[in-house]
Amino acid sequence: MIRMLLADDHEGIRLGVRALVDAEPDLELVGMATTGEDAVQLAGTEDPDVVLIDLSMPGRGGLWALAEIRRARPWTRLVVLTSDGRAATLRAAVAAGADRCVRKDEEVEELLLAVRGAAPTPR
């Protein structure tokens, strides 16, 4: 079972990802955050395998949260879900600690592949 944390400030994205995860037998959504600060806090308390995180959120935002989660939890895999597909943005996400990046306008299957591909090998 892959334990996921979702961080996105758009309710429609959160509801859609929740429905998608609920339909997948190998995925479990253990928490949802709407700010970078909440994502960092929940990553520490919920112990997710994968954090699916938007870059553009209120507060300190996704890039800050990526770096903080990577620093505190180097074993947690980080997948960026973004509407900004510019190369500079994606490079910044990888520099902040992202393992994979998926654009919000890609097919749902791409998101599932990114999460499963990033997930750590079961022990």
Q: What is the per-residue pLDDT for 123?
A: 47
Q: Which CATH superfamily is domain 2-118 in?
A: Response regulator (3.40.50.2300)
pLDDT in tens, 33-59: 999 999 999 999 999 999 999 998 988
- Rounded-to-integer distance, Cα 60 and Cα 77, Å: 20
**pLDDT of the residue at 122:** 61
φ, ψ at 58 (rounded to 5°)? -65, 165
Cα–Cα–Cα angle for 43, 44, 49, rounded to 5 degrees: 50
Q: How many CA atoms lie within 13 A of 47 on its CB side?
A: 1
φ/ψ of 8, rounded to 5, equals: -160, 140
pTM: 0.94
Instruction: List pLDDT tens digits, range 70-119.
Output: 999 999 999 999 988 888 988 999 999 999 999 999 999 999 999 999 99
Task: List beta partners, residue 103.
Answer: 82
Give the domain ranges of the chain. Answer: 2-118
- What is the rounded CA–CA span in Å between residue 31 and residue 21? 12
Angstrom distance (rounded) from CA 49 to CA 111: 15
Per-residue model confidence (pLDDT) at position 10: 95
- Measured CA to CA, the distance from residue 61 to residue 63 in angstroms comes to 6
Pairing assessment for the beta strands 2-7 and 100-103 based on DSSP bridges: unpaired
Identify whether the C-beta of residue 28 lies closer than 8 Å to the C-beta of residue 73.
no
pLDDT for the residue numbered 85? 81
